[in-house]
A and B are shown apart, each in its own frame.
Chain A
Amino acid sequence: MNTELAETQTGAPFGAPVYELSRVSKTYARNLVVALEGVDLTLRKGSFTSVIGSSGCGKSTLLKIMAGLIPPSQGRVVLQGEPVTGPRRDIGMMFQQATLFPWKTAVENIVLPIEIRDGKAAAKAALEKAHELLDIVGLKGFENVYPNELSGGMAQRASICRMLITEPAVLLLDEPFSALDELSRDMMNMELQRICREQEATAFLVTHSIQEAVILSDEIVVMKPRPGRVAEVVKVDLPRPRTLEMMTTPEFGEIVEYIRGQLDKGEDM
């Protein structure tokens, strides 16, 4: 995309809706806590959306509902035209920890989702694709290395491959790099941006870092707690591709300040 387009669209996502949530609420029966109330959200093809908010704002509940791990109490959750009623292969997920299994090599870890869904033969057939993905994330030559020998950042790269191997329609990212040191985190965020652009991926990121949300996202969903709800959706109109240098520009600072203000507003903490 070019700068003009970015300006006219003000950085808004472009494609058709991929993931649609409407009036989604979640009340935990156990203690009657309202974790989510009336959340509406649309992820468009190729867009990058972040959700940010203090703890208890329901963002992990939202992510679990979107991953098909827990059902909503109310509302519609539709991915690619089909209601989400459980885990699906067109949902890719990544966690704070790389969670690679130490008894499997890097490639074996990456084809694990195929092994679980389609069996060992299919996993073997997917090995070639796993090699390509490792090449894309810059882990060429580490195919047959065990996770113990990978650094934190390398392990997260491998777990990106594992998420991508099933060619999911949406990537759900649960603070994927928060366990890394700051330098690695910045670098991995830029890598993530590049990979998402190359794969035309639709991504949804849960994060605690406003800077991280701003540098990566087209849209930032600001959530508030008690009950968990969407306070505002902030569009980020910085041009793509984003670079780390942009973090020093006044525009970047303005958006960060704005979101910080939104988060602080009416908070009793």
Chain B
Amino acid sequence: MTDLSNNSSSTTNTDMLEDTVWTQEIAFIDSVPRWIAMSFVAFVFIGTWWVVTAFGFVSPIILPTPAETLKDMIFVGKNLASGGYMLTALWITILEVIYGFALAIAIGFTLGVLVGETAFGEKAVMPYLVAIDTMPKVAFAPLFVAWLGFGIESKVALAAFIATFPIVVGTAAGLHAADENARMLFKTMGASRMQTLIKMKLPTGLPQIFTGLKIGAVGVMAGAITGEFLGGGKGFGELIRVAASQLNTPRVFSLILYLSLVGLALYLLVQFAQRKVVFWHKERVGSYDG
């Protein structure tokens, strides 16, 4: 009772005093939208580029001006849009990437399950995979050309070869992602090994598997272009090599930019599939470990 009366008297006291309201500082960058921050970086980058080229600090053969590059991009874009020879070359490279990625997924997933699920795979196969993975895979390119010729097969092989390992690792890691409780639960339910794999381990590991696929998607592009550099052919990589040998630097730049769009499209496709399939998993923006 005394407490209550004390309270009411203190209430009247507080009425006479000022509220303790103060402003919390917010970091400036937190109030800036992402697209503005990104535009700022692009502006600084292109600005610097323009300054060093337009004022003759760098020879145009080494680095063209942004305007020249843009002009060439429009030219290449027109050729692509009108179905010219560049589109034919781009299509060849896209096919190499698609076949290479499909092959890498098939082999990588199978090896990943073998290594992640069976004790034999983990003991006997994994060490070899690690050993091969540490080799510079690009060095195999001449071998693929010797075995498969100058056609798209040797490029597909190199692209798949590079993209397979991250998928193996992602799948194997995914199969180990299930925790002890989930394993024990499946045991108490009398689940067979196949049921445990399909109904629990694989779905649990999907985020890691997709991480492997994303890294693979980046690698497959690099593999296809490297294959074209080292093994000829009629793809986009060949166009880049020819342009570079003619010191046509603006062309090299614009070809690379168009090529990067293909890589980006593949990456976004995998990311889209991940969002549809692994709908329960919250993903951080722009990170591999989606």
Contacts and interface: CB of A to CB of B under 8 A. Distances in A.
B185 A93 contact: yes
Interface in A132-183: 146, 148
B190 interface: yes
A93 B186 CA distance: 11
Interface string A122-140: 0000000000000000000
A69 B184 CA distance: 8
Contact of B181 (A67, A99, A113): A99
A87 B189 contact: yes
B280 A102 contact: yes
Contacts of B181: 95-97, 99
B137 interface: no
Residue of B187, B189, B203, B281 contacting most chain A CB atoms (<10 Å): B189
A101 B199 CA distance: 10
A87 B200 CA distance: 18
Interface string A81-107: 000001111010101110101110000
Contacts of B187: 69, 87
A117 B188 CA distance: 11
B74 interface: no
Nearest to B204: A101
Nearest to A146: B280
Given A101-B203, A103-B280, A148-B280, A88 B182 contact: no
The binding surface of chain B is classed by DSSP as helix
Given A89-B190, A146-B280, A116 B184 contact: no
Interface residues of A, number: 23
A188 interface: no
Nearest to B186: A116
Interface string B174-215: 000001011011111111000100011001100000000000
A146 B181 CA distance: 19
A237 B195 CA distance: 45
B189 A69 contact: no
Contact of B188 (A67, A96, A97, A101): A67
A116 B280 contact: no
Contacts of A77: none
A150 B190 CA distance: 27
A112 interface: yes
Interface string A104-120: 00000000110111000
Contact of B185 (A86, A88, A95, A103): A95
Contacts of B204: 101
Nearest to A99: B181
Contacts of A87: 187-190
B203 A116 contact: no
B40 to A, nearest CB: 36
A116 B182 contact: no
B190 A103 contact: no
Residue of B185, B199, B200 contacting most chain A CB atoms (<10 Å): B185
A69 B188 contact: yes
A214 B19 CA distance: 49
Contacts of B186: 116
Contacts of B182: 99, 101
Interface of A: 67-69, 86-89, 91, 93, 95-97, 99, 101-103, 112-113, 115-117, 146, 148
11 contacts: A87-B187, A89-B190, A91-B188, A95-B184, A97-B179, A97-B181, A101-B200, A102-B281, A116-B190, A116-B195, A117-B189
Q: Report the 7 A-B pairs with minimum CB-CB distance, sorted nearest first.
A: A102-B280, A99-B181, A116-B189, A93-B188, A87-B190, A113-B189, A116-B191
Given A95-B184, A103-B280, A116-B186, 9 more contacts: A67-B188, A93-B184, A101-B200, A103-B203, A103-B279, A112-B199, A116-B189, A116-B195, A146-B280
